[in-house]
Structure 1
Amino acid sequence: MNFQDLKSQTQEILTNSVSNRDEKLLAVCQLLHKNVPHYNWVGFYFANHQTQTLHLGPYVGAETDHTIIPFGKGICGQVAVSNTNFIVPDVSSQKNYIACSITVKSEIVIPIFVNGINIGQIDIDSHTIDAFTTDDERFLEELTVEVSKLF
C-alpha cells in the first residue's frame, strides 16, 4: 500500500466519531504496522511538561519497558526537547539511544504539535538499517497534523 492510500485510510480512522482517541491512535498504529513492511514498531508517546517525561500511549509491536522516558533521553526524549523530526539511519551510531530491542536498526520520531506546543510524538522502529526516507518523513508529518486535531 502506498502512502497516499494510507493517508486516506488514516484520515478515515481519525475522523471516526464512534471511536475514542486511544482507539483511533491504536487503529492508526495497526494500519501502519500491517501495511508498511519496514514499520516494525509503531507507537505514540505523550508529554507531561510538569514532570518533563514522555508517557507511552497506544502502540503495536514488541512489548517495551520504556513506558516513561525523561525529556532529553533517547531519540524520543531528544525530540521532546528539540521539537524537530529525528531520523536515525543506524541506532548503533547514537550515543544517547535507549535500546528497546536488539532487532531495532533504525528509528524515526516526528513530534505532534497543538497550538505550537510539542504534546507528543509518533515513534517508529525498523529492523532494517536506513529504512526511512523523506517520503516516510513527509507522510508522518502530515499524519501528526491530523492526529493533533484529536487534542
Structure 2
Amino acid sequence: MSLEKLKPQVETIVLDTKKTVDERLKSICELLETHIDYYNWVGFYFRNGDKEELLLGPYVGEPTDHTVIPFGKGICGQVAVSNENFVVPDVAAQDNYIACSITVKAEIVVPIFVNGENIGQIDIDSNTPDPFTEADERFLEFVCKKVSEIL
C-alpha cells in the first residue's frame, strides 16, 4: 500500500478517542508494520521527564532490550539531541549504532515535536538495505505531526 493511502488511516486512528493514547500509538505501529513491507520494527520512544534519556513506548516487532536510551547514544539518542531526522541506509557503517537485531540493515528516526519541543520520536528498523526514501521521511513527518496532536 502506498504511503499516501495510509495517511487517512493514520488520521482515523489518531481521532479514535475511545482508545487510550498508547493504544492509538500501538495501532499506528501495527498499521505501518503491516502495510509497508520494509518496515520490520516500528516503535515510539519518548523523553523521560526531565532526564536526558528516552523510554520505549508502544512498538511492534521483535522484543528489544533497549527500553531506555541515553541522549546521544545510538540513532535514537542522536535524534533526541539533534532534533533532526536521521536516515541510516546501512547500520553497519554507523559507529554510534545500537544493534537490536542482526537482521536489521537500515533505520530511520523522525522526531515528534509538541510546542516546538522534541518530546519523542518514531523509530523504524528495516531488514532491507537502504530502503528509505524522501517519501518515507515526509510520510513519517506527517505521522509525527498527527501523533503530536494527541500528546
Normalising by the residue count of structure 2, what TM-score does the alignment of the two structures yield?
Answer: 0.99
1:91 is matched with 91
2:142 is matched with 142
Equivalent AA in structure 1 for residue 25 of structure 2: L
- Tell me how far 1:107 sits from its aligned partner: 0.2
2:5 is matched with 5
Which deviations, in whole Å up to 9, do the C-alpha atoms of 1:129-151 show, x marking residues without a partner?
Answer: 10100010000001100000011
For residues 2-151 of structure 1, what are the structure 2 equivalents within 5 Å?
2-151=2-151
- Unmatched tracts of structure 1, length 5 or more: none
Which deviations, in whole Å up to 9, do the C-alpha atoms of 1:46-105 show, x marking residues without a partner?
Answer: 012522000000000000000000000000000000000000000000000000000000
After TM superposition, the runs of 4+ consecutive aligned structure 1 residues lying more than 6 A away are none
**Cα distance in 2 between the residues matched to 1:17 and 1:98:** 35
- Tell me how far 1:5 sits from its aligned partner: 1.4
**Cα distance in 1 between the residues matched to 2:86 and 2:76:** 8
Which deviations, in whole Å up to 9, do the C-alpha atoms of 1:100-119 show, x marking residues without a partner?
Answer: 00000000000000001000
**Cα distance in 2 between the residues matched to 1:138 and 1:78:** 20
Which deviations, in whole Å up to 9, do the C-alpha atoms of 1:15-41 show, x marking residues without a partner?
Answer: 011001000000000000000000000
Identity %: 62
What value does the CA root-mean-square deviation take over the aligned residues?
Answer: 0.6
- Tell me how far 1:4 sits from its aligned partner: 1.5
**Cα distance in 2 between the residues matched to 1:75 and 1:115:** 23
Corresponding pairs, count: 151
